[in-house]
Structures are given as C-alpha cells and as structure tokens.
Amino acid sequence: MARHKTKVIKIGKVRIGGDFPITVQSMTNTATSNVVKTVEQIKELENAGCEIIRVGVPDLKAAKALSKIREEINIPLVADIHFSADLALEAINQGVDKIRINPGNFPKSGLEKIVRLAKKKKIPIRIGINSGSLEKDILKEQKKATAEMMVKSALRFIKLMERLRFYDLVISLKAPDVQRTIKANELLAKKVNYPLHLGVTEAGREFSGTIKSALAFGVLLSKRIGDTIRVSLSADPIQEVKAGWEILKSLGLRERGVTIVSCPTCARTEIDVIGISKEIENLTCQIIKPFKVAVMGCIVNGLGEAREANLGIVGVKGAALITKEGKIIKRVAKKEALREFKKELKKYLKKC
Ligand code: SF4
C-alpha cells in the first residue's frame, strides 16, 4: 500500500511527512521552568532514541526557559501551548522549532499574530485535537466527542489557518481509545495532505497504554497513515520512546538497536531464556546499530531462529550452543551459558 501522500514539514533539523522516516516523539514531565532538570530528562530521552521533544508551557516562567533549553539539546524542541496566545508568541520568540496549539481552548483572536510570527521564524504549527477538549459548539449537548466531530474541529481550524495563508501544519487527532483514534485519522487522511502525528491520548499505564498505542498505530501505519508518533503513557517518558521504537521496528518501518527473538519457554526449555534475554536488553540499551539476537530454549525452533540472527544461544540437552551469523561457534555447559554468551555479546558490541 502506498504511503498517504503528505507535505514535508521541517521541524528544526528533522523532516516529517513525504517519504521521510516516521519519527518517535515524547514529552517531558519536569517543570519546564527548571532548565537543568528538563535538559537532563531530554538528554536521557535523546539517548533512548527520542527524535522530537515537546515540553509543556503553562506560564511565562516556562516560556522564558525555552531558549536556554534549546541551546543545550540536539533534537527539535516543541512548545505545547493551551489557552494563551501570549505564551505562544513568547515561545516562538524564544526560538522553539514548532508549537502545538489546541483548537478546543485556543483564543482565535490571537491567531493572526501567531501565524505572522511563525511565518517570520519559519516554524510549523501542530493543530492538536483531543477528544476531551473539543470546542463546545461542535460537541453540542453530547458527552462524548465522535471521530467525525474531531475531524470537523480539525478541518475548521485548518481552514482558518489556510485563510491566513499558513500551510506549515501538522495535525493530530487523539482520543483515549483505539477505535476513535483510528477512525478519526482515517477520515482526516482522506481530506488533507498535512503530515499526521499519531497518538492515543491518556492511554493509561505502561502496559495497557503500550498495547492501545500499538494497536492504533499498527492499524494506521499498516494503511500507511501517520508520519510521526508519540506513545502517551502514565510512566517514565523513556518507556514512551522505547515503546515507540518497538512499534516501528515490529512493523518493519524503522530499525534501531537490538531485536531479541526469544521463545516463551516451556517444559522443553534447557537454558534460562528469560534471564538471558533480560541481561541482553540491559547490555544493549545504548546500542543504535540494528542487530538481532536469538535466545531459544531448545532445539525445536532454536537453530532455525539462530540462523537468521547475528548472535544466538540455543538450549540443548545439558548444554547451550552459541551461534554467530548463523553458525555454531561454541558448545558450552548449561551453567556456563549466560557467562559465555555475555562474552560473545561484548565482543560483538565492541564492533558496533
Ligand atoms: S523453543 Fe523449545 S523451549 Fe522454547 S518454547 Fe519452543 S519448544 Fe519450548
């Protein structure tokens, strides 16, 4: 299926849309006014693979900190603004790479000034629709926003921006459930060619939120809809970045770091598959170069999976076979399995 055709939008050094790779985003949860803490968190997120970072700007103190934060980081900085045109203007003047505004709570009276300044500074604006903060006239008396209402809100705001001759736009339509998120984005993708930022908002804690995001993004990205993603979790934002990458890797859309192929274990298991896989994850979390490791409990599927991996360990009666680029290089005693495999892994990582 061909990718949904969109404009290319430049956010600092990163481009999204068109044929550019789907990027992984996250958001800080420090006080933006605390420059030291915020920069520290962004750097950790950068190391984990975050490619665009958004910070909340609840007040002027936070807005005034933006230029200092931007100076210290290497990925594009996005200011998340609600309710206030003045904060948006200050954020743009501080040199952010993009702003995100929410039509449901943004004063339309301030829009013209913002658009003028964003054009001057050549930065894009994300129109971020959330099902929980839709405009009252669209929601009418209904308690729950439908996908159609979210699309209506987006189209109306896009028209407003286009009337002001502003086309440097990214759009997001987020709901806390999978079905509405999918439907809203599918509907909008038929109507506009702006890049789409995907997200299931308020998705919940790490486990359930990751599953919801994986499902929604999986459906949309398989239909080639979506240009950048954020997995929203009530958890450390590092987990958002990890989950984002895992989703893109699983769909074959991006590559980064280790991919572990490990079996679920059963009565045939000859080695500590769970412990070894965990250890590999810890040892390889900083590695960017893509590579594959197979950890298989027995011979049933073991050698087949190991053949496709850069490194592998397969349990056999009382021992373990270690493989490299599909070939068996060692047979070690069961109790030496982890130590010996770690040795081989470290040797391999030195070359990464
Ligand atoms: S690979 Fe072997 S040990 Fe692992 S789940 Fe399959 S049969 Fe069980």
> What's the pLDDT score for residue 286?
85
Ligand 1 pocket: which of 260, 261, 269 to mutate (most atoms <8 Å of CB)? Answer: 269
State the pLDDT at residue 104. 87
Select from 261, 270, 192 the least CA-distant residue to 227.
192
Closest residue by Cα to residue 301 from 337, 339, 331, 262: 262
What is the position in ligand 1's atom list of the atom closest to the CA of 297?
3
For ligand 1, atom 8, which residue shows the shortest CA distance? 266
- DSSP label at residue 267: T
Our CA dihedral for 316, 318, 320, 326, rounded to 10 degrees, sits at -30
- pLDDT of 3 reads 83
Ligand 1 centroid from CA 319, angstroms: 15
Encode burial over 104-134: b for 16+ CB neighbours within 10 A, e otherwise.
bebeeebbeebbebbeeeebbbbbbbbbebb
With 0-12 CB in 10 A as exposed, 13-18 as middle and 19+ as buried, what is 323?
Answer: buried
Backbone angles phi, psi at 118, to 5 degrees: -65, -40
- For residue 9, the tally of other CB atoms under 10 A from its CB is 24
- Which atom, in ligand 1's list, is nearest to the CA of 264? 5
309-331 pLDDT per residue, tens? 999 999 999 999 999 999 999 99
CA–centroid distance, residue 321 to ligand 1 (Å): 15
Q: How far apart are CA 73 and CA 77, in angstroms?
A: 8
Which of 260, 261, 262, 263 maximizes ligand 1 atoms within 8 Å of its Cβ, making it the mutation to test the pocket? 263
- Compute CA distances 97 → 20, 32, 164, 168, 279, whole Å: 18, 16, 20, 12, 38
Distance 301 CA to ligand 1 centre (A): 7
Ligand 1 atom nearest to CA at 302: 1
Question: What parts of the chain have a pLDDT lower than 50?
Answer: none
Specify the ligand 1 atom closest to the Cα of 315: 3
268 CA to centre of ligand 1 in angstroms: 6
Containing 270, the helix (H) or strand (E) segment is none
Beta bridge partners of 316: 319
- What is the reported pLDDT for 142? 82
Residue 350 CA: distances (Å) to CA of 48, 137, 347: 19, 60, 5
Amino acid 126: pLDDT:
98
Closest C-alpha among 70, 165, 62 to residue 116: 165
Instruction: Indicate which residue's Cα is closest to atom 5 of ligand 1.
Output: 265
Closest atom of ligand 1 to CA, residue 298: 2
CA of 263 to the centre of ligand 1 (A): 6
The answer for residues whose C-beta is within 8 angstroms of residue 42's C-beta and 6 or more apart is 28, 50, 53, 69, 72, 73, 75
> How do residues 124-143 score in pLDDT, each as one tens digit?
999 999 998 898 899 887 88
Kindly write down the DSSP assignment for every residue of 151-192, as one continuous string: HHHHHHHHHHHHHTT---EEEEEE-SSHHHHHHHHHHHHTT-
- Can you give the pLDDT at residue 6? 96
Question: For residue 141, what pLDDT is reported?
Answer: 73
Q: Which residues line ligand 1 (CB under 6 A)?
A: 263-266, 268-269, 296-298, 300-302
> Residue 131 has what pLDDT?
93
Mutate to test the pocket of ligand 1, among 268, 307, 334 (most ligand atoms within 8 A of CB): 268
| Ligand 1 closest atom vs CA 270 | 3
d(CA 270, ligand 1 centre) in Å: 9
